Structure 1
């Protein structure tokens, strides 16, 4: 435990008490949302990110310890584990240092050094390395026999052994690592045979490229590595070879005789054949890992903003998945997102029944008392939006254009088939568009986050780390907002703290069989939902219209008695406290502190009582594109246009201005001053005004500037 604590504290700089208590809670199967929200006294008020870091470094430490155990066992079996080596391995601070220690003892495949040893040349190599002999050729001649045909063969074999020894020296490896870290240049050369291929043109900027590896932006490195993976360029990592070899010579050679000449040749061989290829790959891999982390961080930030996008709330919605030849799929949803009606209309070519389509939409809006219209932003979106805005509805309806990203993935999924077994994928897709307007979070959790289309180079990064990060974001968002247990899908319930897929299914089936939950206590009746799961999840599950108003709040059931005591002390009911800020602010919270409940928890309770069940998300706002801009051909330099940020990367953000192609605001065009963080200037789905800087119609590229 002591080593684990020291390891985590070294990387996080958090207090020992906070780290120790958090680890204890994690070992008790507590979830991150539960710990950060309801165990603030024990953690020292750590947030989800800090607790997530503790989990990350705890996993990292345990993986390191597991690898140490494996190596120690292997060395014991080889009979080479000395006390000194054991101590070095047990105290190795990271995996790189550990693998360097193990390198000389790995059971290697057939190598030049191993062949030389079998030919009896190791004694010669040791004599040369002693640097005391002058007539090495005479010494080498004694080893000319069997597979060793000449003096030169003997000396070459000895050099191979020496080169391997040099390669295994930790100090030598670390010195070259330092040079790679500081001075490595990554260079690319185009593969001539593929230079003219159409698919290679998006990488043409990197056909002949040189840049410092440690200064290269993450998106550029990932682009270059993708170009390499697709066979369009060859990538090489270089440092100053002469300088690196010179430093090795200074460390190894102590004499000026025939031995030193052989060692110098071995040094060059070790560097070019063993050290540089291995360590340059290591440097590139480390740079790739940093680029992955950066890209994953961008993706996670985007996903969080997307999931916490503005909902329109429980309103009746008419949703349209637009199209030309196949028509526009129309569905009507009630305020809870249940499908009430579906039909296909054909307002656009080739049928062009615009009048019939307008009449149908108008009648459906009346019949189902529609309050808002959601239009997918895919093919025929602008044309459909124009059509809808021509309709004179009896009531004032809000019209929204909604992202379709991932809707087709959902419509063909098992979840969609279970929800709508009697409808085809086109109807399911339209329902998803409508529900995204009602509650983006509840609908988007049904889709693999990687299919939503935000982020950069998501298919090029470590997929395990990406999935872990995205799952963390989804879980955090779901629990931050809270879930109505009586309307939530199985997908949404599965992300609630302590629940998971199996219990989510049990809750869903129990609700279908017994009707709506009337109190949080009813949740305990769900099969296999034990005390631990209830403790972890109950406060994130909301029950509207419960007899106990706290059931529709984030106050944990374990704290109900505190609220009841507060109300009793004031001569009021719990219901009287709800929303009564004036009364709540006068309370002396210290009076209710105990050994397990402190001011952080009590302050959270007061904040929740003031506005119970408050949705932290902003209300959805109607947005209208410039109606005169239909295609990229309508754009002109200098135009000011309304747009919506639809993706954020490290190099800028992409903006939907109402046409098929999104425009790019490069990081340099977000502000007149230096921009270190794109998110500090824009957020996903933010409505902004942009200025058109450049339009490249052949390449379908649009350069924009953020207009303040």
Structure 2
């Protein structure tokens, strides 16, 4: 099967654009680069479509490698026919390929193999021919050696027939369809483990039954984890008689012959001993893969929304990592997130040094010209917010509560130790909180996405697939926003198209030695950064106040000549063309098209010239929680409260209402209508008003509703 033949049915695109996209991917072009700067080649495909093609390309390559391996294995057995080779080469999926290979796969010493070694395969063929004749007489001819009776001969032949049935392609296809359409997953508690305290979270699944094709990903992953932890036993069930009837319809051609009882017994034996265990594994693996994909999709959508959260921008920030007994760790940061000062204050019990702490904060705000205050949303967050808001400053200061999920992971990481070798983890954590307010993306790229707390059963899913998807999401967000080449850290730079960790380190080292980059062209002087890496990365890197005004835009250097030509035709300098909407709106773009630059790209260039380097993220707004609610004990059913959505799952969303515990809005409480996709109703960081439905103080659980 050829690559285009494999991919075309799954992608809605012309063959020309599909081939161009595949050529770019094979040439190691990044998905953000292809989507942004090769639109004419792809027919204006977006990143999602290109990512799908990239995934199919990998799948095809893996399939081809497996075909080569299988063909080699069968050839070594001297069993490869032209017909079989043609079927293997044409197989469109791994499942169909493995079905073709199954009869030739090396097996352990099975009952069928033992029967073959005893010389009973000819008897099995006689039975399967289903001709009229005396089956007992036929069986007696094989009584010799280890085979002591006709019954033993028939039993051995039955084992061989059972194996043939289990390897029959038609049987496997129809039974696979039966399992996919009707299989039910049953979960039962393990009595010896069910009484353990940690088993309570799986209590609803102690006697659970649900069709596999309808089970939601979060339920499957919960059951899967419970089985792994030993609290549940899982098994699949299908209607046995229906399975027997399907198989009989394929292999039992003469139901009234004397051979029929042996074949019928072989059918039942084959299903129970060989077919069902095989499909139990296959269907559960398919369900796990689907659940993984769903969970990874939810995680990716959440992560994208979190990374694209509104930044405060380059402001001088005082950040607080709040606490009671251990105090509040306080840091002052400059506009670029550089640590200027740190101290611990104790405004809360047991020390309750309110006056001293207030005086200290006030003096630091003045000394470091602070413009905003960031407070982590952990323990003592609301109390710290109240303390700060009671201080009388001589200027207007915006106070923000910042989600600190994952800050402790960062503060103990190698990255944090390299940034702040002389400070302890409490200082690093406070710095991370302040920087998150300034620019969430730049700070969050330093943390393993799994530690950010916006996933769903992230430790249960395929970790390789999860990492690949999340890395792709981070790269997409980084390249969509663009990166300041002269201020970005190596972690942020490593996600830029065409860069990676090694080149990012080289860029930082070159910048430290040579000071700032004056223009994009200087990148080519960075060790090991060649023309290919420059092509892939340059358009996503920004240089503010550099030699060339286009370097602070998403216009790619390869398009600078066309911009210069446009400016020259208008009698303007390039700098005068930028943000000149009157001129830009009047351009006849068709006259500037050529083999390199098409109309789609020219429209992108004009759009960028109107607002060069514009940040696609929304502006940050202050948010106020209900001041009367500081702890779960303050909640009462029926209360209406402001909140912020801080996690989305397939079964609902979690909302921060200003206390330590997050409240759950179940999917059934999102709207006055059926909701299939939580993301269609709410987004991460969205401000909402919720109603308290119930409060479980013992379990520390809060149920909320968005329904008015």
**Cα separation, 2, equivalents of 1:619 and 1:636:** 34
Quick check: 2:645–2:687 contact (8 Å CA) kept in 1?
A: yes
Q: Which moved more, 1:307-316 or 1:543-552?
A: 543-552
Q: In the alignment, which residue of structure 2 is the partner of 1:86?
A: 85
Q: How does 1:611-626 map to 2 (within 5 A)?
A: 611-626=611-626
Q: Which moved more, 1:418-427 or 1:474-483?
A: 418-427
**Cα separation, 1, equivalents of 2:459 and 2:564:** 52
Q: How does 1:61-80 map to 2 (within 5 A)?
A: 61-80=60-79
**Cα separation, 2, equivalents of 1:677 and 1:582:** 43
**Cα separation, 2, equivalents of 1:696 and 1:158:** 63
**Cα separation, 2, equivalents of 1:23 and 1:206:** 45
Query: Displacement of 1:668 after TM fit?
Result: 1.4
> 1:501 aligned to 2:501?
yes
Q: In the alignment, which residue of structure 1 is the partner of 2:143?
A: 144
**Cα separation, 1, equivalents of 2:109 and 2:533:** 55
Query: Displacement of 1:133 after TM fit?
Result: 4.7
> 1:186 aligned to 2:185?
yes
Quick check: 1:127–1:133 contact (8 Å CA) kept in 2?
A: no
Query: Displacement of 1:109 after TM fit?
Result: 0.8
Superposed CA offset, 1:63-90 (max 9, x none): 0000000000011111100111101100
Quick check: 2:669–2:707 contact (8 Å CA) kept in 1?
A: no
Query: Displacement of 1:143 after TM fit?
Result: 2.5
Q: How does 1:67-146 map to 2 (within 5 A)?
A: 67-146=66-145
Q: In the alignment, which residue of structure 2 is the partner of 1:657?
A: 657
Q: How does 1:134-533 map to 2 (within 5 A)?
A: 134-255=133-254, 256-533=256-533
**Cα separation, 1, equivalents of 2:547 and 2:173:** 67
Aligned-partner SS, 1:258: coil
Q: In the alignment, which residue of structure 1 is the partner of 2:590?
A: 590
Superposed CA offset, 1:466-508 (max 9, x none): 1111011011000000000111000000011111111100000
Query: Displacement of 1:129 after TM fit?
Result: 1.2
Uncovered stretches (5+) of structure 1, i.e. residues with no partner = none
Quick check: 2:667–2:675 contact (8 Å CA) kept in 1?
A: yes
Q: In the alignment, which residue of structure 1 is the partner of 2:27?
A: 28
Q: Which moved more, 1:119-128 or 1:103-112?
A: 119-128
**Cα separation, 1, equivalents of 2:352 and 2:402:** 23
Query: Displacement of 1:707 after TM fit?
Result: 5.0
Aligned-partner SS, 1:49: helix
Q: Which moved more, 1:656-665 or 1:144-153?
A: 144-153
Quick check: 2:185–2:209 contact (8 Å CA) kept in 1?
A: yes
Q: Which moved more, 1:133-142 or 1:664-673?
A: 133-142
Query: Displacement of 1:696 after TM fit?
Result: 2.3
**Cα separation, 1, equivalents of 2:707 and 2:609:** 41
**Cα separation, 2, equivalents of 1:531 and 1:248:** 61
Runs of 4+ in 1 over 3 A off after TM superposition: none
Query: Displacement of 1:654 after TM fit?
Result: 0.5
Quick check: 1:116–1:160 contact (8 Å CA) kept in 2?
A: yes
Quick check: 1:333–1:434 contact (8 Å CA) kept in 2?
A: yes
> 1:556 aligned to 2:556?
yes
**Cα separation, 2, equivalents of 1:61 and 1:327:** 57
**Cα separation, 2, equivalents of 1:326 and 1:154:** 80
Q: In the alignment, which residue of structure 1 is the partner of 2:18?
A: 19
Quick check: 1:689–1:707 contact (8 Å CA) kept in 2?
A: no
**Cα separation, 2, equivalents of 1:189 and 1:494:** 47
> 1:702 aligned to 2:670?
no
**Cα separation, 1, equivalents of 2:162 and 2:12:** 41
Superposed CA offset, 1:120-166 (max 9, x none): 11111111111125432233233333332333222211111000000
**Cα separation, 2, equivalents of 1:385 and 1:79:** 77
> 1:605 aligned to 2:567?
no
**Cα separation, 2, equivalents of 1:70 and 1:407:** 47
Provide the aligned length of Structure 1 versus Structure 2. Answer: 707
Superposed CA offset, 1:590-645 (max 9, x none): 11111121111111111111111100001111111111112222111111101110
Q: Which moved more, 1:502-511 or 1:408-417?
A: 408-417
**Cα separation, 2, equivalents of 1:114 and 1:108:** 8
Query: Displacement of 1:292 after TM fit?
Result: 0.9
Superposed CA offset, 1:213-255 (max 9, x none): 1011111111111111111111111111011101211221122
Aligned-partner SS, 1:446: coil
Query: Displacement of 1:257 after TM fit?
Result: 2.9
**Cα separation, 2, equivalents of 1:679 and 1:581:** 36
Quick check: 2:327–2:346 contact (8 Å CA) kept in 1?
A: yes
Q: In the alignment, which residue of structure 2 is the partner of 1:39?
A: 38
Quick check: 1:579–1:611 contact (8 Å CA) kept in 2?
A: yes
**Cα separation, 1, equivalents of 2:183 and 2:634:** 46
Quick check: 2:672–2:707 contact (8 Å CA) kept in 1?
A: no
Quick check: 1:405–1:453 contact (8 Å CA) kept in 2?
A: yes
Quick check: 2:320–2:331 contact (8 Å CA) kept in 1?
A: yes
Query: Displacement of 1:309 after TM fit?
Result: 0.6
Quick check: 1:41–1:596 contact (8 Å CA) kept in 2?
A: no
**Cα separation, 2, equivalents of 1:305 and 1:544:** 26
Aligned-partner SS, 1:564: helix
Q: In the alignment, which residue of structure 2 is the partner of 1:645?
A: 645
Aligned-partner SS, 1:329: strand
**Cα separation, 1, equivalents of 2:41 and 2:141:** 73
**Cα separation, 1, equivalents of 2:315 and 2:257:** 90
**Cα separation, 1, equivalents of 2:286 and 2:685:** 33
Q: Which moved more, 1:346-355 or 1:205-214?
A: 346-355
Superposed CA offset, 1:363-417 (max 9, x none): 1111101111111111111111111111111111111111111111111111111
Aligned-partner SS, 2:459: coil
Quick check: 1:68–1:90 contact (8 Å CA) kept in 2?
A: yes
Aligned-partner SS, 2:259: helix
Q: In the alignment, which residue of structure 1 is the partner of 2:686?
A: 686
Query: Displacement of 1:344 after TM fit?
Result: 1.0
Quick check: 1:415–1:446 contact (8 Å CA) kept in 2?
A: yes
Q: In the alignment, which residue of structure 2 is the partner of 1:8?
A: 7
> 1:57 aligned to 2:56?
yes
Quick check: 1:643–1:656 contact (8 Å CA) kept in 2?
A: yes
Query: Displacement of 1:52 after TM fit?
Result: 0.5
What RMSD over aligned residues (CA atoms) do the two structures have, in Å?
A: 1.2
Uncovered stretches (5+) of structure 2, i.e. residues with no partner = none
